[in-house]
Amino acid sequence: MSLRNALKPILIGGLVAGTLDIVAACISAWLQAGATPIRVAQSVASGAIGRDAAVNGGIKTALLGLAFHYLIATTATAVFYLASRKLHFLIKSPIPMGLLYGVFVYLFMNFVVLPLSAITRRGTPTISARAIQALIIMFCVGLPIALIVSRYSKDNDARLVLPDTVEADPV
């Protein structure tokens, strides 16, 4: 595994998953609460700097939140990529494995990362809110990451390419 072969799918996966996820989060937040994209990005930043500092920081904290968001998406892609080097089934069946990875990312973010962050929750999310969030992560993060890593792995990693079949000469 060369760094060059790893960097391309990790960066593309992070960019695609990060973009799909932030767009979905903005649409969901706007539909549910009328929140603006700036407020969504500030809420990401609030995990590191707290709610008041994020809201009062204006566009600077929104950009910080966006940077954190893409860092998280790229890290999720790197984790999947590295796991797929040993667990080849992750990229041989990218659709179910990507959706399952999305569930893993959702659980990790909601039950490990967020409780350790400076984000202050206002009550427990409803089942429907959790379901919407999980589906967004499954389809906008897990699935594209798996498809992108799978696509680039087939081109760059000889261990994952099926051997050519030899056809018998017609007689």
For the chain, give the secondary structure using H, E and C: CCHHHHHHHHHHHHHHHHHHHHHHHHHHHHHHHCCCHHHHHHHHHHHHHCHHHHHHCHHHHHHHHHHHHHHHHHHHHHHHHHHHHHCCHHHHCHHHHHHHHHHHHHHHHHHHHHHHCCCCCCCCCCHHHHHHHHHHHHHHHHHHHHHHHHHHHHHHCHHHCCCCCCCCCCC
pTM given for the model: 0.87
CA 19 to CA 141: how far, in whole Å? 9
Token couple for 113: 């990362």
Sequence letter at residue 28: S
pLDDT average per 10 residues of sequence, the chain (171 residues): 86 98 97 96 96 96 98 98 97 97 97 91 88 97 98 63 48 48
pLDDT tens string 48-79: 999 999 999 999 999 999 999 999 999 999 99
pLDDT tens string 138-153: 999 999 999 999 999 9
